[in-house]
Chain A
Amino acid sequence: MAVKGSFNAFEMARTQFDRTADRIGLEQAARDLLRSPLREYHFLIPVRMDDGTSRVFQGFRCQHNDARGPCKGGIRFHPQETIDTVRALSMWMTWKCAVADLPLGGGKGGVVCDPHDLSAREQEQICRGWVRQIARNVGPVTDVPAPDVMTNTQHMLWMLDEYERIHGGHYPGLITGKPVGMGGSLGRKEATGYGAVYTLREALKELSLRPEDSTATMQGFGNVSQYAAKLFREMGGTVLCVSSWDQKDQTSYTFRKKEGIDVGRLTGITDRFGGIDKTKARALGYEVLGGEAWLSEEADILFPCALENQITGANVGSIHKRVKIIVEGANGPTTPEADEAIHERGIFMIPDFLANAGGVTCSYFEQVQSNMNYFWAEADVLARLDQKMTHAFSSVSEVARKRKLYMRDAAYIVAVTRVAQACRDRGWI
């Protein structure tokens, strides 16, 4: 359904929802309820700037749906937040938490400002000001924020501190993204990457394939890819090549080793932004190919873990015929056009909001540990992560199998169904 007028993220999200709702024959009341956020808060944050003058900033928090549990979602600092984008993002959070079967709803919020124009002290004032305005409506059992665009650990800690001052107590469960030692959870670094590979493992089982016989190729070598590659290797799989962005040459390259990459060594020559040192890689015996080569490599599994819109209508044709599974480690790496082609070819797709749900799951674990004020060992975190991801995957794949659906569609259906059911169970509709 083409919408007249300019691009609107919220309308796009609604369109997606409508399609799924149609498919499952959702009743009107549920549609009405889930098409829009339950609650939105808009407020003003006056701040005294360093030079003594005052400035007023706009803050907001959008809580889409909390039938399944407290809302979860990031806070962003952005110079021009349109409320539509925020609404769309809060909606996607609901679906994400639902598909991972976490007892959480979806939310999103932020402040209209640009940290490049603000000193550290001013940013602190904004964070505390935000909490002061919304302190009654967020909390460990109501709405749990997290870092997002242009916000970081420090901002979260200031917000936590302000909240605790207002409410008089320790409430580490208010917010996630805290550092280990200050209420953060172990295993966060590995969570997304490992999570993706847990779903992959289940997918392989379903297709009666063994990791030991499988090869994979990856786009991007950042946090997600590095840990995914590590776990995949540990399971016996082989990663043939990875691509990465070379900041100096301003282009991407694919690094290939037919016997399989050595994750540890390769990580050692990778910088913080996922850029692999080309010269050192060559010295270690890697072939250096063009940036697109990862896509056409002869392998069983594709792992796009870099940016969005990487597999498009134009290049979907170059995917090797051997590829059986695509695991979307990144957000939105496949365009709708390409999606259709992949569906037609019968490649098994693990969609982004299922495959990379490891991150939000670990966030949830942080919240749980914080509420208990007891923090698990890393092995425990990862074991629980495995269990949750496996379960999430099997629910979705079961629906896909039974109803002969594309995995992406099945995932949406599972998510929406769960949320709608929760609303019914509570007697809302």
Chain B
Amino acid sequence: MKTALIYILLAVLSVAFCAPLITMLSTSLKPDSELSRTPPTLLPVQPDPGIYRRVLESREVPVPLYARNTLIITLLSMAGTLLSSAAVAYGFSRIAWRGRNVMFAVMLATMMIPFPVVMVPTYVIFKHLGWIGSFKPLWVPAWFGSAFNIFLLRQFFLTIPRELDEAARLDGCGTWRTFWRIILPLAKPALAIVAVLHFITVWNDFLAPLIFLNHQDQFTLALGLTFYQTRSGGTSWNQLMAVSTMIVAPALVIFFVAQRAFVRGIATTGIKG
């Protein structure tokens, strides 16, 4: 009875959460003539998969090229943020040292300043480094950890019982081994979340690529998306939604892969071990 209720609730929620995405998918398959139907049709009457082919072959927004660019940036950025954010979060949560809280507060504060007001000074720094027009401004900063990810990991590290560190220390483990052998394996769910959320952030970011890249051939998928709205030629809704669908797909796969990690926390790995 209770289980059935839970399933029904979940099913209703899932449908509600999916409806807008079904709109996206169905719009991406509607031929131009059908876009103009009033009231709009829920599902395409005559689906036209050719829209995807046209989008993939378009010369103005070369989707495969942009996908490759986005992939390079995302992979480099993800690798960096996972490594450094975890290490920094460890320093902020499992090691007691003076000034820790002050520095942590400063780190939190850096998140609170909106990008627009630091955009120009940041641009100037990257210009002096000669990075404008390259992918570097988009992934190098991730190697210094990102405040959001550090914060998230720190909070998760805090939920791991202290006794584990003590035990490790008594076994003669240094901080590095404790981090690598005990904390990281236990924090897999949190790491998986960081990976997924960071992937999505970088994958969908369009402001930073817009500001720091210089040439058409370097652009990313999310930036390419903005080019489907031309100023006097009209927006190709079906193409826009087709690209959106293609952008969403890899993130969805990543999620499916990663979610196995974050539903198995301490509960199943067992701390008594």
A binds B: no
